[in-house]
Structure 1
């Protein structure tokens, strides 16, 4: 590689790292504003500026390095105790952070406006940091001694031998011994051997009785109490023995440990034979285990258990020695371009499709080996799919952090006093989903600030705290994540919504509709109740963007509001966009997939009920009239209708809508494929998937079809 290529590669790495550092810098500054006396945060800000300055100079970003040096100098004064943290300083540093980001984005090209803004910020920083005469005469504060934290005492790592045989009537108590074994595995490294010598002949076997047990080796630092807790509800009735074999963290015991690792000694310690029997056996040329089995002294299963113990102890000892050689290392990470992850997901999707075809082929034949191979491929592809999906998962906390700056700046512009709180930052979502969530979340927060939280004086007059609050919350629920944006503001004025909806012809005057239906008008294009158009709202595009983007993510939006108390907007988002669980259906020769998360139930469409609604597409299902879309008519599919049609009931944004199909085939794991640029304007189809037999199935865009039903007033 030439020097020029190496420099270009270094610049690319620096740009990525600088972006991350700037995000951390913004977070530290916002925290520092709340805790101005926190010296650790001051140090974090200084180190971030120092890193950008030094690395920028190294890779030729001279403007960045020069400007950052001026900001770093000011925070060096703060770090030295010569200057206090103030809101003005935070404002200027946040502006500096934005300027640095702009300089990095301009790729060192000329940007007069940016340079002028940088000059103004440097001038204001120098004025702010100029010491007053009184400050110059003050003595330097003495450094406080910081006590070092004592290291925690390392827990003793011990290998335990556990013999466990449940009572024969264990099934009658509703206990599953396998769950107890899983609990043991969670305590540490575990090795198990099934002891089957108690199983009777087949003619004497009672299927409701339990006849065997386990010899278990467990290496853990949790102690005896943790092991006994696993068997706390069954231990008294079981044949249970727990004994320590070796303490791995105790020094100066290597001779004893080496002795314990010999097979003969292990068998003697386990009580399987005595020393005299062992002494007679070791003089033979055969292996000790073979001799003992041939003489009938122990069974082959007990030899196997002892050998496993020998091997387990060797591994545990080697592991401890390796850990003592070096300090524990934090899990390392590598930076991978998202395009490579996308390519990996595509390949996994192809593998899932091929695996489905293989399983279909194997199930259609009588070849047992092929079926076994298909099952193994299915298991491995499922593990690979799950691991690949996990690689793309990132915590939503970084996205929440970005909104702290938005709330701070926007509340200042609007004259509000608002505190942002967050819960569930560790909740993980697909990276692609998080990127597409940014715009709708921005609009929801802007809407909450402008329409929700009242000005401080108005809040005080209504008996509320002067400071308003916006709360962001994320939580997992099955294959989805729920994200809530809640404010404690004025709530939604239903009469204003109703009046505006009637004015725009979205509803008839005097119509009786539910709150959910009323709130749905908020998401209509161009809908706004603002009297004056401002830089924040009033043009009716914000909430429309929310609905459009969330629909594109195959998600849903729910609005709940109480006047004078606040509003909560809940987004229901799928964890990933690459692979979904779907319901496969058939209409004629065509196959359609509906996202399983939107499906409530499937019922037969009775012709008498379908015709009882005077030609309108309404089905009577358990006393409720549910509108439906007849997919054969909607997509103009030729052919004869099925004798008995099925209706798939879905639930989207508070509405229940049915889709009539010829046949419901069943659940199907769907690998989503884009349709390509030629079909980018097709709104009712969100993608396609390849079935196990190689045929194509289209994935329906359920929210879009529901909107079609509402527009046609079916």
Structure 2
């Protein structure tokens, strides 16, 4: 097999290993259903078969023993209990290390091989002896087959082009050796041409093979699946007539399975970079379409306007469909935390179960990759700080087994991810006392619960009584908030002492294109994410103080704080005679943004800021308008912090912009 196919093998093996891990965790928790065991077996078998095609004998040999143990579990001659599931999890991890070694070009790692032998000894001791396959080779002399095995006659003639197509004929023969004992092997040389006609890149190999195996005809034929178009294959049992009838039936069932597979095989693996390039081009198409629409309006031709409107609708549909290509379900990401919860809980001696909800919720692939680290910290924090020990939970009348829950759902054009636990909750008094001690707030400050709990996101803030390997050093929660904010998201926290804590992360659906609301201040343009906009109201003269110090208005009986973009960014234009307030809701709170002009809705293609401007607060990116003018996309989270923090709100405008 050519090296070009190796990345596909590695990617598919990693997917199978994730499925294998999820099923083994189910078994370890006592949910040993037939489907879970079959899923584990299928993953191991597929990895072994694919490894044989690449000549990765180390993976084949190790996985063969694991597969043999699983085969006994499927046959109900060996019970899958927690101990066996835990050992198989270690074996699964070792297979992952072997695959990673292949990816790194270190497939002959001696230390890995030694560790593998130790794991197989541990596995075979638990399974009552399975037999090692670490030195499995192909036999070319007659071998006495084990009782209960059938003899299979296999004739295979490889086509001339098989080598040019990147296939190694011998790898298929080696794989056959993992399905049973090769009793006889004979080379076919009838197709060898004369010397003057011999093609050095052509293949003239053929084999007659006698295989003693308990596998089905379908499984044996599947060994040649990757080369079926490049060979002539015949597999038949050396059996009486009755067995030949059964063999014909099995052949029909194989055909039916492949027909189903071909009809369902509508998925296509696409390189992520190609998809990102497509999204970038569609973003440019959106901008070009906006320019065309503006030009058509200026021309004043009705037919041209109708054409541009149809074009705009098509561009919008193409945009939506392209963005859906990058949307993936969050379930697989959540499932990976099953292993983290299991390992960490064992490390600190707690009984904890992970519950998952909203696994079908879709999110941009880039966002999922970026949010994994913050989620990992939140889950580990819930395990270490949130869930009490068994003794404490028992004394409080709780179930000894604690629960950490991951959930996701769509809400108002955003995706909300929740990390919740049923632990002891946050201690408000301790948080406030620590904040006073560190000088974050003044003694006697009146804080709401949400304001008090938000203090844990301050850099270096920790109320842990002792430092552990997991947490307690005051590093992490501020990083969580910073990473979420970098994704144009927000973090909220709810907690009740004695009942538990919920951290709520709100994220946009995508980082590429947003629906925005365009506003103007003087000659400058700004974009506000449309899903955050609640309403727009006029700022009356009664709300304008001569010195410009007023920072709030009474909006239908509720206090609404606001910020002036003109002051924030030191814009040199004078205030217009008529100003408006755009009311936005973010992280459960409302603020107003004072602007001169309301310019309407638009699609904004997000362009990241350069590193030179990365420390500017209140700006999350930029976009190009249809007129060619640059507009800045507002970072509403930063605006909210500036607006609600009185000390920052009265700081000089230029200083308020910098961290």
Match of 1:495 among 429, 451, 463: 429
Match of 1:69 among 49, 53, 64: 64
Inter-CA distance 339–678: structure 2 relative to 1 (3 Å threshold) = farther
8 Å Cα contact 1:10/1:59 also seen in 2 = no
Match of 1:367 among 292, 301, 306: 301
Deviation at 1:575, TM superposition (A): 1.5
Match of 1:58 among 53, 64, 78: 53
The residue matched to 1:364 in structure 2 has which SS?
A: helix
Inter-CA distance 55–683: structure 2 relative to 1 (3 Å threshold) = farther
Q: With the length of structure 2 as denominator, give the TM-score of the two structures.
A: 0.74
1:712 aligns to 2:648 (yes or no)? yes
The match for 2:503 is 569
Deviation at 1:622, TM superposition (A): 4.2
Match of 2:486 among 532, 546, 552: 552
The residue matched to 1:611 in structure 2 has which SS?
A: coil
The residue matched to 1:692 in structure 2 has which SS?
A: coil
CA distance in 1, matches of 2:31, 2:314: 53
Inter-CA distance 495–612: structure 2 relative to 1 (3 Å threshold) = farther
1:126 aligns to 2:124 (yes or no)? yes
8 Å Cα contact 1:674/1:687 also seen in 2 = yes
Aligned-pair Cα RMSD in Å: 2.4
8 Å Cα contact 1:617/1:627 also seen in 2 = yes
The match for 2:21 is 26
Inter-CA distance 102–705: structure 2 relative to 1 (3 Å threshold) = farther
Match of 2:41 among 32, 37, 46: 46
CA distance in 2, matches of 1:561, 1:442: 19
Deviation at 1:497, TM superposition (A): 1.1
Deviation at 1:515, TM superposition (A): 0.8
8 Å Cα contact 1:582/1:669 also seen in 2 = yes
The residue correspondences of 1:498-517 to structure 2 (distance < 5 A) are 498-517=432-451
Deviation at 1:621, TM superposition (A): 3.9
CA distance in 2, matches of 1:458, 1:37: 31
1:428 aligns to 2:362 (yes or no)? yes
Match of 2:77 among 74, 78, 82: 82
Larger CA Rg, structure 1 vs 2: 1
CA distance in 2, matches of 1:81, 1:131: 16
Task: Encode CA deviations 1:488-509: one digit per residue, 9 max, x unaligned.
Answer: 1111111111111111212111
Inter-CA distance 614–368: structure 2 relative to 1 (3 Å threshold) = closer
Inter-CA distance 486–128: structure 2 relative to 1 (3 Å threshold) = same
Unmatched 5+ stretches in structure 1: 1-5, 133-325
The residue matched to 2:263 in structure 1 has which SS?
A: coil
Match of 1:389 among 318, 323, 343: 323
Inter-CA distance 423–640: structure 2 relative to 1 (3 Å threshold) = same
8 Å Cα contact 1:610/1:617 also seen in 2 = no
Deviation at 1:345, TM superposition (A): 1.0
8 Å Cα contact 1:46/1:72 also seen in 2 = yes
The residue matched to 2:2 in structure 1 has which SS?
A: helix
8 Å Cα contact 1:610/1:618 also seen in 2 = no
Q: What is the number of residues matched between the two proteins?
A: 516
CA distance in 2, matches of 1:681, 1:58: 52
Q: With the length of structure 1 as denominator, give the TM-score of the two structures.
A: 0.68
CA distance in 2, matches of 1:20, 1:128: 27
Deviation at 1:334, TM superposition (A): 0.5
Inter-CA distance 330–582: structure 2 relative to 1 (3 Å threshold) = same
CA distance in 1, matches of 2:378, 2:565: 35
The residue correspondences of 1:164-179 to structure 2 (distance < 5 A) are none
The match for 1:599 is 533
8 Å Cα contact 1:516/1:654 also seen in 2 = no
CA distance in 2, matches of 1:696, 1:111: 55
The residue correspondences of 1:345-424 to structure 2 (distance < 5 A) are 345-424=279-358
CA distance in 2, matches of 1:529, 1:112: 46
Deviation at 1:542, TM superposition (A): 2.4
Unmatched 5+ stretches in structure 2: 131-258, 651-659
